[in-house]
Structure 1
Amino acid sequence: MIVSNVTTMRSFLILGFPGLSPQYYGLVSVLFFLIYLAIALGNIFILAFVIYEKSLQKPTYLVFCHLALNDLTFGTVTLPKIIAKYWFGDGVISFYGCFTQMFFVHYLGSVTSFILLVMALDRFVAICIPLRYSVLITNNTISALCGFAWFIPLSVMGAIVSQALPLPYCKSNIITQCYCDHISITSQACGEDVRAAQVTTLCLAMFCLLVPLAFILFSYASVIVTIVKISTAFGQKKALSTCSPQIFITCLFYLPRCFVYVANTFGFSFSLDVRIFLILLYSLFPPAVNPIIYCFKTKDIKQTLMKKLKTTRIGIEIKLSL
């Protein structure tokens, strides 16, 4: 499905994994569907549980809710189309639909980065200056900071899309990826402005990733130093347990990305299928796993959930006994 004339570019074709044999299409579609189901159910549960339980409506858990909403949206934007491609053979996406998906893919990734910054700030204040926590970190403060996390990337992504959209697309309309992203789209463009658009996008992407990462590293380094200075082992364990979920979530988001970037920098190349798999791994694994981390690594959520399950079980046993 090759298009040679820029005026006839009406759609793109999502290719997915180029080396995947057709006999595995059904299995891959089921796998993607199960991943989407895990993302949807897990993050909807977290949102509903925190909204329903008034005792959990605290700054830390409000940040979790913003991240859960982001993860849910990301899965909804990216997975249905690739599921349709492997399940029904429908990999065609409209020209503007592809750009819309590209916008949300990069926008939501940037939002995640800034929400993780807010999460790190919350733990920094809680561990390093605990006496000021209730004054500095309130529900209103967290809501405002998370609002900025959603707002700041808007202008950045708007600039990226507005620069890429007018480019002349005269190469193949095949997207060698499981969803539309900037590299996959602009690699099909022609002209002298393509390189400038790619460099600009790289710089803006690094801003959205590295600026929050710099503060996150400073924050958790300060937290670890503070924990080490605590005189008792019990105090150290208690302090570490309050920030371990945030550290796990942050590592899931940043470490795989850093691995791919460092590997590319040192000339370690991956096959196209492996590269696509790695991108999907660091894009979709955190949204699917984060709700599990919230439930089993966060003391208040775990205790409240276990209490609810215990109460429900007792209620069922009483009804059965009657």
Structure 2
Amino acid sequence: MNNSDDFYFVLTGFPGLPEKFYSVVGMTIFLVYVTSLCANDIVIGLVILKGHLHQPMYIIIANLAISDLLYDTSTLPKMISKYWSGDGKLSFTACFIQTPIVHTLNCVDSLTITLMAIDRYVAICKPLRYNSIITNPSTIKLCSVTWLVCFAIGMFVASWALPLPYCGPNKVRAFYCSLSKVAILSCADSSQVRRNGFYAGITMHMGPLSFIILSYLIIIANIWMTTRFKNWQKVLNTCITHWFVITLFYIPRIVEYSYNQYELFPHPDLNVLIVCLYTYVPHFCSPIIFCLRTNAIRKTLGKIVQKLING
């Protein structure tokens, strides 16, 4: 069978999961989705509606929240349906619409986290020039460029898998369609395509991570030399929230890349679990962390809650 509307893919989620656990897993995914939806909506709403949050760092945080919200909305409802009603089917067209969306939003997340590192670098290492270097218009432009670049990358990566012939196996061992999970189902040899996808992923994520690590090494060195151990904890405290996000986003991803490259954990369910850890956990944890750890957001949210309680 050639690529056509008659061919469809089946998302397996956790391929080895017994059916008796489907309702539990479906409820877990539903709760994750609802939590992510509410948490990210709150962050986006606060940044848009509250004038004192119209600052570069909060604009970047809102940009990350928008990306995470779109990612979860484009992937999780189908998995909830799969585990609650058994409907894991995706048409050929739907799968190849989802593929560039997934790669685009992964890229947006990675580059947005990098923008956070740039913001912290300028704020700590060049504080007197911060307001002239990092402005609201420049931040909005950088976020817009991030979306445009990542959209182009997402479409380009997805285009590698689209021309491949699909005529047999159709079970995608994942929560969503992506290059590596779909290309492996092709009737033709897709090893080069999957290898290219691996290199693209390494470049898109490990490149920014290397930049982030370098920027924080410079930040720590700057704190060491300028504060002379006085108030260094207060300065570093402004970076801790970002470090949480970096850890949640990158560490499980590195493990999964190692799995794919060296087959350290040759078990499909473990692979899917690791992907879920670096994909969905940051999406609902990050906005909660920002609300709890960022003073301006926490105080603004506290005032709103207090008003609601007092009527």
| TM-score bracket for this pair, using the shorter chain length | over 0.9
2:179 is aligned to 182
- Does the alignment pair 1:107 with 2:116? no
- Aligned-partner SS, 1:177: coil
1:320 is aligned to none
Greater CA radius of gyration, 1 or 2? 1
2:238 is aligned to 242
On the 8 A contact 1:153/1:208 being kept in 2, the answer is: no
| Cα offset, 1:210, TM superposition | 2.2
- After superposition, what is the alpha-carbon deviation per residue over 1:122-163, rounded to whole angstroms, capped at 9, x for unaligned? 000000111110000000111111112111122222222222
- After superposition, what is the alpha-carbon deviation per residue over 1:22-48, rounded to whole angstroms, capped at 9, x for unaligned? 111111111110000011000001001
| Cα offset, 1:195, TM superposition | 2.4
The CA distance in 1 between the partners of 2:258 and 2:134, in whole Å, is: 36
2:247 to 234, 238, 251: 251
Q: Which amino acid aligns with 2:103?
A: H
1:225 is aligned to 221
On the 8 A contact 2:10/2:172 being kept in 1, the answer is: yes
| Cα offset, 1:267, TM superposition | 5.0
| Cα offset, 1:7, TM superposition | 5.5
The CA distance in 2 between the partners of 1:151 and 1:55, in whole Å, is: 28
The CA distance in 2 between the partners of 1:76 and 1:286, in whole Å, is: 15
2:194 is aligned to 198
On the 8 A contact 2:99/2:177 being kept in 1, the answer is: yes
The CA distance in 2 between the partners of 1:130 and 1:7, in whole Å, is: 56
Cα 1:45/1:309, change in 2 over 3 Å? same
Cα 1:100/1:251, change in 2 over 3 Å? same
2:53 is aligned to 56
2:81 is aligned to 84
The CA distance in 2 between the partners of 1:231 and 1:309, in whole Å, is: 37
- After superposition, what is the alpha-carbon deviation per residue over 1:156-180, rounded to whole angstroms, capped at 9, x for unaligned? 2222222211111123111122211
1:271 is aligned to 267
| Cα offset, 1:206, TM superposition | 2.0
| Cα offset, 1:191, TM superposition | 2.3
| Cα offset, 1:311, TM superposition | 4.3
- Does the alignment pair 1:117 with 2:106? no
For residues 279-294 of structure 1, what are the structure 2 equivalents within 5 Å? Answer: 279-294=275-290
| Cα offset, 1:308, TM superposition | 3.2
Cα 1:271/1:244, change in 2 over 3 Å? same
Q: Aligned residues, how many?
A: 310
- Does the alignment pair 1:19 with 2:12? no
On the 8 A contact 1:110/1:209 being kept in 2, the answer is: yes
1:69 is aligned to 66
| Cα offset, 1:101, TM superposition | 1.2
- After superposition, what is the alpha-carbon deviation per residue over 1:290-309, rounded to whole angstroms, capped at 9, x for unaligned? 11111111111112222333
The CA distance in 2 between the partners of 1:156 and 1:251, in whole Å, is: 24
On the 8 A contact 2:102/2:154 being kept in 1, the answer is: no
The CA distance in 2 between the partners of 1:239 and 1:11, in whole Å, is: 53
- Kindly report the root-mean-square deviation, in angstroms, between the aligned alpha carbons of the 2 structures: 1.8
Q: Which amino acid aligns with 2:218?
A: S
- Aligned-partner SS, 1:6: coil
1:165 is aligned to 162
- Aligned-partner SS, 2:17: coil
The CA distance in 2 between the partners of 1:240 and 1:119, in whole Å, is: 14
The CA distance in 1 between the partners of 2:172 and 2:72, in whole Å, is: 19
Normalising to structure 2: TM-score of the pair? 0.94
| Cα offset, 1:190, TM superposition | 2.3
Unaligned stretches of 5+ residues in structure 1: 317-322
Unaligned stretches of 5+ residues in structure 2: none
